Structure 1
Amino acid sequence: MGRPTPDYRRYRCTIGGEVYTVHLNPRHGRRLLDLAIATGSELVWATTWEQYANDWIAPRIGLPSLPVIPLTSDPPSEHGEMFKTPHVAAYAGRRPFVWFDDQVWAEDEEYLRVRQGLADFLLIHVDPMRGLTSRHLGMAHEWLTLTGFSQGS
């Protein structure tokens, strides 16, 4: 596909002297908030943008300021998992979680299950050329509901 769909807007953001071009869908914030409300879950940033996600992304898609999982530049993985994965695992602890990311793969799932002993999570790979879709949000809603994570369970 290579180009975002028309519902995305292009932004140029400057962070620490670096200029980034990002494509954001202003409807994603509301849809993520609706998912969190419907399932009683918490929205959290797990991004190399760290706190800048609250400054640059959140207001452009209609999200409030969210907690940020601090990411350190750890040494390279010995097991193939992404550098963020241990930080997300530490933040989540034993709580069930859904993680949307364009860099989560089977190695991350194996790391979480085998090395962290976690069972209640869903990794959703988001194609960076297509972005977050209704299908992704539906998968998350269904999983959170079936795991009994939603309110009223």
Structure 2
Amino acid sequence: MTGSAQRPLLFLDVDGPLIPFGTPPPGRPDGHPTYETDDRPLPAGSNPLLGRIDPAHGPRLMALGCELVWATTWGEDANDCVAPWIGLPRLPVVDWPEPSAADERDGLHWKTRALVEWAAGRPFAWVDDEITDIDRAWVTAHHAGSALLHRADPRQGLTGTDHAALHRWARTVMDRV
């Protein structure tokens, strides 16, 4: 299968998009919602922030039809902890190179080059809370395929609006394949 006939990639960060953090979102002075219940306890010894991840994200992400890839510093821990919590299978994990001093100086996110290299021309969406216009411009200039760099608000994590934007992008890209 050629790169253009493959499903688009969806690079997914954990901290921020899946685990909201920082100042609680407006309207939630009590903090972030949690999804741990008596019927659904966190696994023993797991990261307590795992309970902030809405388990509904897994099915919604799988429904996009993209090839999901962890693009997070969690590395394989995302497969061991996050994936089972939200009902995802084990996913490929981006192996991060050392950040470039030139990229840092120019404001390019340290993940950007690695994700474009991983995609190798395939269409991709990248969901992260640290994406900037510098990253978008760099990807436009250096990636031949379709790309959506979607910034999630780290105070809320992925919302229904974010999922709708990803769904529209995925449908558009897959209609071209």
> TM over 0.5, yes or no?
yes
Q: Distance in 2 between matches of 1:60 and 1:25?
A: 9
Deviation at 1:131, TM superposition (A): 0.8
Query: Structure 1: which 5+ runs fail to align?
Result: none
Which protein has greater RCO, CA pairs closer than 8 Å, 6+ apart? 2
Deviation at 1:14, TM superposition (A): 7.2
1:85 match:
112
Equivalent position amino acid for 2:49 in 1? T
SS at match of 2:49: strand
> Over aligned residue pairs, what C-alpha RMSD do you find?
2.6
Contact 2:125/2:147 (CA < 8 Å) preserved in 1? yes
TM-score for both structures, normalised by structure 1? 0.80
TM-score for both structures, normalised by structure 2? 0.70
2:61 match:
32
2:92 match:
67
Q: How many positions carry a matched residue from both structures?
A: 142
2:14 match:
none
2:165 match:
139
SS at match of 1:35: coil
Query: Structure 2: which 5+ runs fail to align?
Result: 1-22, 25-30
Candidates 154, 159, 162, aligned match of 1:128:
154
Name the structure with the higher strand share: 1
- Which string of whole-angstrom CA distances, capped at 9 and with x for unpartnered residues, describes residues 34-90 of structure 1? 112xxxx20111001111110111111111100111112323314211111111111
Q: Distance in 2 between matches of 1:75 and 1:142?
A: 33
SS at match of 1:59: helix
Deviation at 1:13, TM superposition (A): 9.3
Mapped pair 1:56 → 2:81: yes
